Amino acid sequence: MTETETNLYDVVVLGAGPVGENVADRTRAAGLTTAVVESELVGGECSYWACMPSKALLRPVIARADARRVPGLAHLVHGPLDTAAVLAHRDHKTSGWNDDGQVAWLDGIGADLYRGHGRLSGERTVTVTAPDGGERTLTARHAVAVCTGTRAQLPPLPGLADVRPWTSREATSAKTAPARLIVVGGSVVAVEMATAWRALGSEVTVLVRGKGLLPRMEPFAGELVAEALTEAGVDLRTGASVQSVTRQDGVVVAVTDQGDRFEADEILFATGRAPRTDDLGLDTVGLEPGSWLSVDDSLRVNGTDWLYAVGDVNHRALLTHQGKYQARIAGAAIAARAGGAPAPGTGQDGEPWGPHTATADHHAVPQVVFTDPEAAAVGLSLAEAEQAGHRVRAVDVEFSSVAGAGLYADGYKGRARMVVDLEREILRGVTFVGPGVGELIHSATVAVAGEVPLSRLWHAVPSYPTISEVWLRLLEAFRDA
């Protein structure tokens, strides 16, 4: 092949995390030549610094907690976790931060991998700077897909860089448990890492600027998780805004706006995410560097006919499973447009394409928080549904009313809520909090995404005696309200 032919592809994908991999998988399956550019590890944030390592750390914690609630077993699991074994298991699940397996997978689907930093250098053009400084230009016939995800966002505290704070990456890849850990934040990363490191032996202090934990879920979710963290020995402070952080002789000192002073060996800031678009060459195509990329429901960047932004970078739903869902749709849309066929979805110019659009991003996004107890939700909270103008009613049920919950664990504690649209009699949202509820959420996702009428849900009979019987209790509570 000539140099020009070597660098010409149907599709160029920036970022080889789960989202980029799925875009490439779909475009290659459609017969489109595809290049993938990655500056770090193939497999991305989820594989090495987020989903996989965090859940590997948390699974032993949750399993021990469950065992402690089972008669005949509880007395056998009162000792501490084997921290070294847990960390070794975490390392195994991240393949020791080696991406050979994922590289082989890319090769297996026929995608070409370019190692280095990719930047847009004009329409349908990407310049890749390799680790050795060499440059190569890739040109896309049909589409460039930006799948670069997000990075941790640190607050603008003076001297914070000198403190060498943890972000989610350090929290999931640390080689030892710090004796003392301060966690700043109250959302998912904060509560999951507080759960994990407390169980692995760290003294943990959580400083939350707001009034409670998990502010994007129903209020009772944060309340139940906060209660459990406190019972586990976490020092939880709400209404505590960190004003200064220093490191003195290896000790981190954090001072809040109330003048309270906290010391630790490490400090984790779990205070939000920012798009990895600041050095992506967006300015070369009329977009703002560092911005979130706004897209239509086929994941095409608004105002363009060739640029796609898929996954966290478009700010629709910052979750790996939603990003992979978007990637499947984007890949199908790119392939359909490349072949001249109607692409799935409805585009910015209003043409009808069919049913396959990222509609779940709007009304049926599921999420599980892997704390003890777990918190799981899909769709809209009561407050969100009301703000959206729906006439709704929330129905709550305590899991203590469910026979299967009592069999799952002695003293099972948790709550379920469904948010019912009173005009259409469908579910707008469902939230579960309790041990093991992460495995319940897909049933709720099907009900919300499928807009299943309550009259049909009565005929979806839950098996007895399982925790799923909470569905019957929820329907009965709505009927009797």
> Under a CB-based contact definition with an 8 Å cutoff, are residues 20 and 14 in contact?
yes
Is residue 430 domain-shared with residue 460, that is, in the same domain? yes
**Residue 340 confidence class, pLDDT cut points 50, 70, 90:** low
- Provide the β-strand partners of residue 248: 251
Is residue 339 domain-shared with residue 424, that is, in the same domain? no
| pLDDT tens, residue by residue, 269-280 | 999 999 999 999
3-class DSSP state of 199: helix
Is residue 355 domain-shared with residue 451, that is, in the same domain? no
Torsion of CA 276, 278, 279, 280, to 10 degrees: 70
Is residue 167 domain-shared with residue 205, that is, in the same domain? yes
**Residue 6 confidence class, pLDDT cut points 50, 70, 90:** low
| pLDDT tens, residue by residue, 382-425 | 999 999 999 999 999 999 999 999 999 999 999 999 999 999 99
Token reading at 286: 């009329």
Is residue 186 domain-shared with residue 229, that is, in the same domain? yes
Q: Among residues 207, 238, 271, which one ends one of the domains? A: 271
Write down the pLDDT at residue 389: 97
Task: Provide the pairing of β-strand 180-184 with 266-269.
Answer: parallel
Write down the pLDDT at residue 314: 98
Write down the pLDDT at residue 119: 98
Is residue 1 predicted with pLDDT exceeding 90? no
**Residue 64 lies inside a defined structural domain of this protein:** no
**Residue 283 lies inside a defined structural domain of this protein:** yes
Number of independent structural domains in the chain: 3
**Residue 26 lies inside a defined structural domain of this protein:** yes
Q: What is the C-alpha to C-alpha distance for residues 420 and 197, in angstroms, rounded to an integer?
A: 38
Burial 100-128 (b: 16+ CB within 10 A, else e): eebbebbeeeebbbbebbbbbbeebbbbb
Is residue 355 predicted with pLDDT exceeding 90? no
**Full-model pTM:** 0.94
Write down the pLDDT at residue 19: 98
Write down the pLDDT at residue 352: 39
Is residue 13 domain-shared with residue 35, that is, in the same domain? yes
Strands (E), 185-300: 203-208, 235-238, 242-248, 251-256, 261-264, 266-269, 273-275
The DSSP symbol for 420 reads E
Neighbours of 278 (CB within 10 A): 13
Q: What is the C-alpha to C-alpha distance for residues 83 and 4, in angstroms, rounded to an integer?
A: 53
- Residue span of the structural domain in which 215 resides: 160-271
Write down the pLDDT at residue 373: 98
Is residue 403 domain-shared with residue 448, that is, in the same domain? yes
Is residue 2 predicted with pLDDT exceeding 70? no
| pLDDT tens, residue by residue, 187-219 | 999 999 999 999 999 999 999 999 999 999 999
Write down the pLDDT at residue 3: 42
Find the CATH number of the domain harbouring 414. Answer: 3.30.390.30
Q: What is the C-alpha to C-alpha distance for residues 160 and 162, in angstroms, rounded to an integer?
A: 5
Strands (E), 97-134: 112-115, 117-122, 125-129
Q: What is the C-alpha to C-alpha distance for residues 286 and 340, in angstroms, rounded to an integer?
A: 27
| pLDDT tens, residue by residue, 159-180 | 999 999 999 999 999 999 999 9
Q: What is the C-alpha to C-alpha distance for residues 118 and 309, in angstroms, rounded to an integer?
A: 14
Angle at 41 between CA 281 and CA 141, to 5 degrees: 45
Q: Among residues 225, 254, 271, which one ends one of the domains? A: 271
| Percent over 90 (pLDDT), the chain | 94
Task: Give me the helix-helix angle, 18-29 and 320-338, nearest 10°.
Answer: 30
Is residue 349 domain-shared with residue 395, that is, in the same domain? no
Is residue 412 domain-shared with residue 345, that is, in the same domain? no
> Under a CB-based contact definition with an 8 Å cutoff, are residues 226 and 236 in contact?
yes
Is residue 224 domain-shared with residue 212, that is, in the same domain? yes
**Residue 79 confidence class, pLDDT cut points 50, 70, 90:** confident
| pLDDT tens, residue by residue, 101-138 | 999 999 999 999 999 999 999 999 999 999 999 999 99
**Residue 447 lies inside a defined structural domain of this protein:** yes
Is residue 330 predicted with pLDDT exceeding 90? yes
3-class DSSP state of 270: coil
> Whole-number mean pLDDT of the chain?
94
Is residue 176 domain-shared with residue 226, that is, in the same domain? yes
Write down the pLDDT at residue 346: 43
> Under a CB-based contact definition with an 8 Å cutoff, are residues 13 and 299 in contact?
no
Write down the pLDDT at residue 356: 66
**Residue 367 lies inside a defined structural domain of this protein:** no
> Under a CB-based contact definition with an 8 Å cutoff, are residues 248 and 256 in contact?
no
**Residue 86 lies inside a defined structural domain of this protein:** no
Is residue 129 domain-shared with residue 36, that is, in the same domain? yes
Is residue 443 predicted with pLDDT exceeding 60? yes
**Residue 341 confidence class, pLDDT cut points 50, 70, 90:** low
Torsion of CA 202, 374, 323, 206, to 10 degrees: -30
Is residue 342 predicted with pLDDT exceeding 60? no
Write down the pLDDT at residue 354: 46
Q: Among residues 361, 392, 412, which one ends one of the domains? A: 361
Burial 394-415 (b: 16+ CB within 10 A, else e): bbebebeebebbeebbeebbbb
Q: What is the C-alpha to C-alpha distance for residues 45 and 150, in angstroms, rounded to an integer?
A: 9
